[in-house]
Amino acid sequence: AQSVSQHNHHVILSEAASLELGCNYSYGGTVNLFWYVQYPGQHLQLLLKYFSGDPLVKGIKGFEAEFIKSKFSFNLRKPSVQWSDTAEYFCAVNALLTGGGNKLTFGTGTQLKVEL
Amino acid sequence: DTEVTQTPKHLVMGMTNKKSLKCEQHMGHRAMYWYKQKAKKPPELMFVYSYEKLSINESVPSRFSPECPNSSLLNLHLHALQPEDSALYLCASSQEVRLREQYFGPGTRLTVT
Q: State residue A30 phi and psi, 5-degree precision.
A: -70, 130
CA dihedral A94→A45→A81→A17, nearest 10 degrees, is -30
Partners of residue B97 in chain A, C-beta under 8 Å: 101-102
Query: Quick one: pLDDT at residue A6?
Result: 96
CA dihedral A32→A37→A43→A44, nearest 10 degrees, is 10
Nearest CB partner across the interface for A96, out of B33, B42, B99: B99
Mutate to test the interface with B, among A5, A36, A44 (most CBs of B within 10 A): A44
Average pLDDT of A54-65? 96
Q: For residues A94 and A105, what is the distance between their CA atoms, to the nearest angstrom?
A: 6
Q: Answer yes or no: is pLDDT of A78 > 70.
A: yes
B91 in Cβ contact with B33 (< 8 Å): yes
Nearest CB partner across the interface for B104, out of A30, A43, A105: A43
B15 in Cβ contact with B80 (< 8 Å): yes
pLDDT confidence band for A101 (50 / 70 / 90):
low
pLDDT confidence band for B97 (50 / 70 / 90):
low
Q: Answer yes or no: is pLDDT of B1 > 60.
A: no
Q: For residues A82 and A23, what is the distance between their CA atoms, to the nearest angstrom?
A: 21
For residue range B18-28, list pLDDT tens digits in order. Answer: 999 999 999 99
Q: Quick one: closest CA in B to A93, which residue?
A: B99
pLDDT confidence band for A10 (50 / 70 / 90):
very high
| Chain B interface includes A108 (CB < 8 A) | yes
For residue B107, give the DSSP letter.
-
Q: For residues B64 and A110, what is the distance between their CA atoms, to the nearest angstrom?
A: 29
pLDDT confidence band for A100 (50 / 70 / 90):
low
pLDDT confidence band for A96 (50 / 70 / 90):
confident
For residue range B30-65, list pLDDT tens digits in order. Answer: 889 999 999 889 999 999 998 899 988 999 999 999
| Chain A interface includes B20 (CB < 8 A) | no
E-assigned strands of A1-86?
Answer: 3-6, 10-14, 19-21, 23-26, 31-38, 45-50, 56-58, 64-68, 73-78
Q: Cβ separation of B42 and A42 shorter than 8 Å?
A: no
Partners of residue A44 in chain B, C-beta under 8 Å: 43, 90, 104
| Chain A interface includes B111 (CB < 8 A) | no
Q: For residues A90 and A36, what is the distance between their CA atoms, to the nearest angstrom?
A: 5
Query: Quick one: pLDDT at residue A99?
Result: 60
Q: Cβ separation of B43 and A106 shorter than 8 Å?
A: yes
